[in-house]
Chains A and B, each alone.
Chain A
Amino acid sequence: MSKSLKFAVATLLACALGAPVLAQQKDAKAGPRYHIGRAPTAEEIRGWDIDVRPDGQGLPEGKGTAAQGEKLFMDNCATCHGEFGEGNGRWPVLAGGKGSLTSDNPVKTVGSYWPYASTVFDYVRHAMPYGNTGSLSVDEYYALVAYVLYLNDVVTDQNFELNKETLATIKMPNEQGFVMDDRATSEKSFWQKDPCMKDCIAPVKITGRAAAIDVTPEDGKEKKSRGVE
């Protein structure tokens, strides 16, 4: 069928179905088009296109070392995260926690938990320093990330140069620590035909009370911390 004939048939069909023709036109690969909005310029995309993937895609030109990152970390990060990434108060712990994931008190840090080094760069560049987002140069972000990796013994040479090539080669200790959502199989028993209605379990007793822990906020009252999360 010729292109013009195809268009005529499509138009007829659209009319027959009462579909509005308006400014829409059928695109070869997709649905209707509305021609609302414009194409961004290359410069506009460049300014906002800051995401980074584990394979290194998106990493900008630049470089930095842990040695350079140490002072930046002290000036911009240590107030919350502690000088060694140990975390102040309830601020996130960045380092340590190795081998703790099966314990009663897992400590999930960059070194003990995060699967990809690229995530550190992506996150820090998106959201840090806290309250001063995006205030550092690309080289400074590389240096900071190098220092955080150094705190976690992922980078052991403080003069190791982190850049778009080297960052993508870094393997994180817990990369294999993740599995895809498997609830549909591992929790298959939660799907039932008819839920039990009578004498489903033996009589129960109260085994725990929120009131005994006493950490619930009450209007106008101070409450102590149990520091759970």
Chain B
Amino acid sequence: MSKMDSSRQSRRSFLAAGAGVAASVLAKPAAAAAGGNPANQPPNVPEWTKSLGEGVAVRPYGKPSKFEKDVIRRDVEWLTASRESSVSFTPLHELEGIITPNGLCFERHHGGIAEVDPADHRLMIHGLVERPLILTLEELKRYPRVNRIHFMECAANSGMEWRGAQLNGCQFTHGMIHCVQYTGVSLRTLLEEAGVKTNGKWLLVEGADAAAMDRSLPIEKALDDCIIAYKMNGEALYPEQGYPMRLVVPGWQGNLWVKWLRRIKVGDQPWHTREETSKYTDLMPNGKARRFTWSMDAKSVITSPSPQAPIRHGKGFTVVSGLAWSGNGKVKRVDVSLDGGRNWWPARLDGPVLDKALTRFYYEFDWNGEPLLLQSRVQDETGYVQPSKAELRKIRGVNSIYHNNGIQTWHVQANGEVENVEVA
């Protein structure tokens, strides 16, 4: 499978030139062709071996290497009118495993990042409850804790791709998703503390930001697996993720995961707020719109190779890496196609396969250097198979904005460059 190709070195040199490296590297010896400074490479001893580095606590809060400066969230400036009500995207093409680092989790704000002083933050629970409740962060932390790993996907993830391939990078096509481990209190615990009255069927959940985002949540989900989280990946929520507390609604659209959560009101009907009427409703070709489309259907994407992560090594052993997830349970299987969906090969799931969490998959093969039409397709434990874009459009048209979970196609060119394409 990993048969080495005798012309590999020249292929690599060719690709390096294609990737923008100075053409002069072609004339240099093998080590130089791989890039970098020969003075730091064998047989020489590199500069960082010859002198002491910085001591402990010089970096009291660690950051990635300066050589990783391009691994950042990015936005699409033309998409929205202002940065305060906009979105930035997770750099999926640079990440591995299933956990998203806190500083790289995509952002979606409606009124900017609220910088909440935890000493002044309050969570109020009222409405159809026996015992209305107001809690400080410290009081919330006294309740029994749970730890859960879940993905969180914006319902509009891939929404720019309904009419065809538009954005050239999986950061932009699929980057409105992240997956972290939350620590918090089961919402059920707090609702039981307050004592929901028998006619309490819906919750209004509301944030403390400048948009005071409010949504309706059915009581069945609230009592099932929702969490009021105050930690992500072990540390306090980041301000852009709702510090000091946010709602976690596993498997359901990100808009429901109200950040800077300040209020929960129990009622007997939904509120039909702006975010569940004007937005986050899915317009069908007949002019009717689906509402309360909460759950995120099974979806997958190859994160590498992808347009921002081309194949730079030339033909030979190649690792295809990707993510799969389902808002309706666990990932059951992932298949990969090299020919645009005509034939499929089982991918290997690696690492934990958790309920409503990202799952990492790999497909390893010996690339012969010919162009590929790479796709991935997930099936979740309910049997749902990720549809092609054509199958989705046949039912939903192209104006529904939300819930585009269609199969993504990456065109890998002979030179290793990758582009976002549509196939038929």
- Same assembly: yes
- List residues of A whose CB falls within 8 A of some B CB: 27, 29-34, 36-40, 44-45, 48-55, 57, 80, 89-91, 101-102, 104, 106, 108, 110, 113-116, 118-119, 122-123, 126-127, 130-131, 133-134, 177-183, 186-187, 189-193, 195-211, 213, 215-217, 219, 223-229
Contacting B277 at CB < 8 Å: which of A49, A119, A180? A119
| C-alpha gap A182/B281 in the complex (Å) | 12
Stretch at the interface among B176-184, B203-211, B362-370: B203-211
Q: When chains A and B are docked, how far (Å) is the Cα of A193 from the Cα of B384?
A: 9
How far is the CB of A181 from the nearest CB of chain B, in Å?
4
Residues of A within 8 A of B167 (CB): 210, 215-216
Q: Please tell me if B77 contacts chain A, counting CB pairs below 8 Å.
A: yes
Asked if B189 lies at the interface with its beta carbon under 8 angstroms from chain A, I say: yes
Is the beta-carbon distance between B292 and A40 smaller than 8 angstroms?
Answer: no
Asked if residues B81 and A101 are in contact (CB atoms below 8 Å), the reply is no
How long is the Cα–Cα vector from A187 to B405 in the complex, in angstroms?
Answer: 13
- Say yes or no: A37-B272 contact (C-beta < 8 A), given A197-B335, A210-B167: no
The stretch that binds A, out of B49-57, B226-234, B340-348, is B340-348
Task: Give CA–CA (A186, B188) in the complex, Å.
Answer: 32
Q: A80–B81 contact, CB under 8 A?
A: yes
Residues on B lying within 8 angstroms of A by beta carbon are 70, 74-81, 84-85, 110-111, 124, 126, 130-136, 139, 142-143, 159-160, 163-169, 172, 188-189, 191-193, 195-196, 204, 206, 210-214, 262-263, 265, 267, 269, 271-274, 277-278, 281, 283, 285-294, 297, 307, 333, 335, 339-345, 373, 377, 379, 382-387, 391, 395, 399, 401, 411, 419-424
A108 and B77 in contact (CB under 8 A), knowing A177-B289, A190-B385, A205-B424?
no
Of A113, A186, A198, A215, the residue contacting B343 (CB under 8 A) is A198
Q: A51-B265, A91-B81, A204-B373 are in contact. Are A210 and B421 (CB under 8 A)?
A: yes
| A228-B163 contact, Cβ under 8 Å, with A126-B212, A202-B342, A211-B419 | yes
Please give 11 more A-B residue pairs, beta carbons under 8 A apart, in addition to A36-B139, A208-B165: A48-B124, A48-B263, A51-B273, A106-B283, A123-B278, A133-B211, A179-B291, A189-B391, A195-B333, A198-B343, A219-B74
Q: Which residues of A contact B293 (CB under 8 A)?
A: 181, 183
A221 CB to nearest chain B CB (Å): 11
Cα–Cα distance between A147 and B340 once the two chains are bound (Å)? 52
Interchain CB contact (< 8 A) of A210 among B70, B344, B420: B420
Query: How many Å from the CB of A217 to the closest CB on chain B?
Result: 6
CA distance A49 to B254 in the complex (A): 24
Task: Tell me, rounded to whole Å, the shortest Cβ–Cβ distance linking A220 to chain B.
Answer: 11
Minimum distance in angstroms from B76 CB to a CB of chain A: 6
B129 to chain A, nearest CB (A): 10
**Which of the residues B143, B382, B411, B419 comes within 8 Å of A36, measured between beta carbons?**
B143
Taking the closest CB of chain B, its distance from the CB of A34, in whole angstroms, is: 6
Expressed in whole angstroms, the Cα–Cα distance for A122 and B172 within the complex equals: 32
Given that A80-B81, A192-B383 are contacting pairs, would A37 and B134 also be in contact in the complex, using a CB cutoff of 8 Å?
yes
Q: Which residue of B lies closest to A91 (CB)?
A: B81
The contact of B283 among A108, A195, A217, by CB within 8 Å, is: A108
CB-CB under 8 A from B274, the residues of chain A are: 114, 119, 122-123, 127
Instruction: Give the chain B neighbours of A106 by CB distance below 8 A.
Output: 283, 399
B124 and A53 contacting across the interface, CB-CB below 8 Å: no
Selected from A33, A131, A180, A193, the residue in CB contact (under 8 A) with B210 is: A131
Pick the 7 closest A-B CB pairs, nearest first. Answer: A225-B78, A208-B422, A123-B274, A210-B420, A30-B192, A204-B340, A101-B287
Interface centre among A90, A134, A201 (most CB of B within 10 A): A201
Determine if B273 and A204 form an interchain contact, defined as CB atoms under 8 angstroms apart: no
Tell me, in angstroms, the Cα distance from A118 to B423 when the chains sit together.
44
A216 and B344 contact, Cβ closer than 8 Å, known pairs A36-B143, A40-B132, A206-B423: no
A33 touches B193 (CB 8 A): yes
Of B191, B273, B297, B386, chain A has the most CB atoms within 10 Å of the CB of B273
- 25 A-B contacts (beta carbon < 8 Å): A37-B135, A40-B124, A45-B132, A48-B124, A50-B212, A52-B271, A80-B81, A119-B274, A127-B213, A178-B277, A189-B391, A190-B387, A191-B385, A193-B383, A195-B333, A197-B335, A200-B341, A206-B422, A207-B422, A209-B422, A210-B166, A215-B76, A215-B166, A226-B78, A229-B79
**A213 and B166: CB pair below 8 A?**
yes
Find out whether the CB atom of B292 lies under 8 angstroms from the CB atom of A181: yes
Select from chain A the residue with minimum beta-carbon distance to B189.
A31
**Are A127 and B111 also in contact (CB < 8 A) when A181-B294, A206-B421, A217-B74 are?**
yes
Are B379's CB and A217's CB within 8 A?
no
Docked Cα-Cα span, A178 to B283, in Å, equals 9
Report the minimal beta-carbon distance from B168 to chain A, rounded to whole angstroms: 4
List, in ascending order, chain B residues with CB within 8 A of A89's CB: 81
Contacts of B169 in A (CB 8 A): 216
| Residues in B whose Cβ lies below 8 Å from that of A197 | 335, 343-345
Cβ contacts under 8 Å, B168 to chain A: 210-211, 216
Q: Which of A186, A191, A213, A216 contacts B395 (CB 8 A)?
A: A186
A201–B341 contact, CB under 8 A?
A: yes
Determine the distance from Cα of A52 to Cα of B343 in the docked complex, in whole angstroms: 53
